[in-house]
Chains A and B, each alone.
Chain A
Amino acid sequence: MTELNLNISLNDFHISKGAKMVPFAGYNMPINYKSGIINEHNYVRNHSGVFDVSHMGQILIPINEYNISNLEKFIPLQLKKLKLNKSYYSFILNKKGGIIDDIILSNIILHNSSYFYIVYNASRKKQDEEIFSEFTSQYELLNKNCLFALQGPLSYEVLAKFIKIPNGINFLEFFHTNFNNKTILITRSGYTGEDGFEISIPEEIAEIFLNNLLEDANTILCGLGSRDSLRVEAGLSLYGHELNENITPIEAGLLWAIDKERLKDNFLNGSNHLIRQIDSKLSKKKIGIISVNKSMIREGMSIIDKNKKIIGKVTSGCYSPNLNKSIGLCYINTEFDLNNQLFCEIRNNMELMKETSLPFVKKNYKKNGENNE
């Protein structure tokens, strides 16, 4: 018997808006609405779109000595030195330095108490929550909060029409505010390569909030289909594709997200192994590929050299509306010389690929301290 999928709070709302629902990480989720994935993708690149990502995990963990020292075993950040109202892309690491999950962790104050606010992947809830429950105390799962990702160059002005956004909020910064007399948590972040905001909001006021966003003609509902092509274009890794327990942040090209001081700390899971990886040559690395012809790159396909020797594997593949070509992320043996031709095996044919630097499409984050320019 197949496992029953859970519904997110606004399941019926999405269906009434024409969502096509598909099972994803144990939840029934909108993959797209009536206008289709490509239109939603382009809307986010040019205007703004809102994704309901309430399947993701959210937790508040009180900041105290006990929780900090326990979490520092798994999370490669100096948790005592995080700046207030900043958000950090980070990981939960296993003993080998492999990635149990990738997370966004914010250092916040709510109702006069300090918390780590962590957003984590739906597909990793079980593993993550086992760690939170064993190693931290007095945490609060925000499982009655919806999570919306408003993404695109017009996100700021769409949100600012009914939410007061503090001056100078940059990408990966946090604020909280009130909406209908309840607290909502907002980080300027997202996973599309565009400017945007992720909004955590109690489910009882979530539909009103969403309708406020959608009153603006510059915003449409978007599903997980366009979220995926947007994040691949932005060269961003996704758990279960580029990231898993057997891949370290070093191999995934994400060393920048690790606090280097923590690598010297034996207490951090896998720190010795990670240091060795930094100092030695890796056996595989993550690259971006573009299909030269029109054939489509899909996850799981083999990357081969001109003699049909397998040299890598596709971890994400999709059609890129911005490039009008198929693009993919893959891991490739580092011994392969990228000056040589490489191919993707597509239905028994060798299709020519071009290696390319990431991202495929330039990111458009707000870092200059200005609000809407």
Chain B
Amino acid sequence: MEKIMSEKKYSEDHEWVTIQNDIATIGISNHAQESLGDIVFIELPEIGKSVKAKDSLCVVESVKAASDIYSPLDGDITEVNKDLENDASIINQDAENNGWIFKIKIHNPDQLNNLMNSDDYNKFLEK
């Protein structure tokens, strides 16, 4: 059985992605969660919806402001993190693991090349 687990990649919009086979798990980076502050509510995307990279998919509301979450890749939404509906602050506590937001079945694995690895993302943040 083919099982490919990629390293974690980051977008310039501060989403992270991990890939297992053709399913991408997506959330917001720890840096993004820190700058948003206390997150109190999330509007999760619809399962089954087709998305394009850079589409605004859902909204996180922190005490300060509403922020759009973009899909870093093309695909179809297969799963959303229902735990966040009851407690969106999981993103503050653990943005890059338990705070995952949605999963998509990806259409175009080559798009992963457009994303940064963690070293490059850290350099991007320093700019």
Contacts and interface: CB of A to CB of B under 8 A. Distances in A.
Interface stretch (B10-18, B34-42, B74-82, B119-127): B34-42
B59 A36 contact: no
A296 B41 contact: yes
Given A32-B37, A225-B37, A37 B43 contact: no
Contact of A319 (B40, B43, B85): B40
B37 A296 contact: no
B38 A38 contact: yes
Interface of A: 31-32, 36-38, 225, 229, 294-296, 298, 318-319, 326, 347
Interface size classification for chain B: 10 to 19
A36 B41 contact: no
A197 to B, nearest CB: 26
B66 A294 contact: no
20 contacts: A31-B64, A32-B37, A36-B37, A36-B38, A37-B63, A38-B38, A38-B40, A38-B63, A225-B63, A294-B40, A294-B41, A294-B85, A295-B41, A296-B41, A296-B61, A298-B66, A318-B63, A319-B61, A326-B41, A347-B59
A36 B41 CA distance: 16
A354 to B, nearest CB: 17
Given A295-B43, A296-B66, A298-B66, A37 B61 contact: no
A193 to B, nearest CB: 17
Contact of A229 (B43, B59, B63, B66): B63
Contact of B40 (A31, A296, A347): A296
Given A31-B64, A298-B66, A319-B63, A37 B38 contact: yes
